[in-house]
Amino acid sequence: MEKDIKIDIEEMSKAGVAFGHRFSKLHPKMKPYVSGIKNTVHMMDLEKTAKELDKALKFISHIISEGKTIIFVGTKIQVKELARAAAIDCGLPYVVERWLGGTFTNFETIAKRVQYFKDLEKKKASGELEKYTKKERYKIDKEIESLRVKFEGIRDMSKLPEAVFIVDLKKDQTAAREAKRKGIKIIALCDTNIDPTIADFPIPANDDAISSVKYILDKVKEVILNSKPEVK
């Protein structure tokens, strides 16, 4: 069941959602979403942003209500904690450190590495690693921490997701390419320097300002939490 989420143009404006990049960086395919230029910066048409955001939220609601999965991807330093927090709040997988090539296209191999990481954690928790020397345990601890950075966000992802939510398509273009190859739907913020046709559900929005990203992520989180199937 699709849930309607209120999208307020004034709130988006206050959050800085409309601010794009300098006019010299405009991607030609973003022209339909631009309303004008302010101080050499392209401004996005928030009416169109609201329309595209509504489409994206309806799609998200649909797949979540069917018990399917979305993975959040946001490796840009200023937004990674926002993406991580939204995913954790929704109980969904995420990638906020470097995208590991093959996460989608070579999922079986990645899944084996995730299982290896989880097995090491279990061995440490059970005391099984106590049989090793202090030096060996230190080395294993370092390996566990390294694996945690890479795989913590996808540790419970047992199969490929139905969709990926990408905060910055330019920064995480490898994730987008892999999603395309595997038929995974792409929902993404599209700033004025981005080709919006890469995404199945482009959301014209400022992908640099924390306030803008937070506004969009809050709406996504709200619709996910409202659309999850009730456990009987």
User: How does pLDDT run across 181-198, given as a tens digit for each residue?
Assistant: 999 999 999 999 999 999
pLDDT at res. 25: 79
pTM, whole model, 2 decimals? 0.92
Q: Which two tokens stand for residue 57?
A: 């939220």
pLDDT at res. 70: 98
CATH number for the segment(s) 9-101+160-227? 3.40.50.10490
Amino acid code (one letter) for 147: L
pLDDT at res. 127: 85
Please state, in angstroms and rounded to a whole number, the distance separating the CA atoms of residues 96 and 99: 8
pLDDT at res. 231: 52
pLDDT at res. 134: 86
Query: Which stretches of the chain drop beneath a pLDDT of 70?
Result: 1-4, 23-24, 230-232
Whether residue 60 contacts residue 92, with contact meaning beta carbons closer than 8 Å, is answered with no
pLDDT at res. 229: 79
Q: Where in the chain are the domains?
A: 9-101+160-227, 107-154
Q: What angle do CA 103, 105, 111 make, to 5 degrees?
A: 45
pLDDT at res. 3: 53
Please state, in angstroms and rounded to a whole number, the distance separating the CA atoms of residues 87 and 48: 26
Residue 33, classified by CB atoms within 10 Å of its CB into exposed (0-12), middle (13-18) or buried (19+), is: buried
Whether residue 200 contacts residue 42, with contact meaning beta carbons closer than 8 Å, is answered with no
Percent of the chain with pLDDT over 70: 96
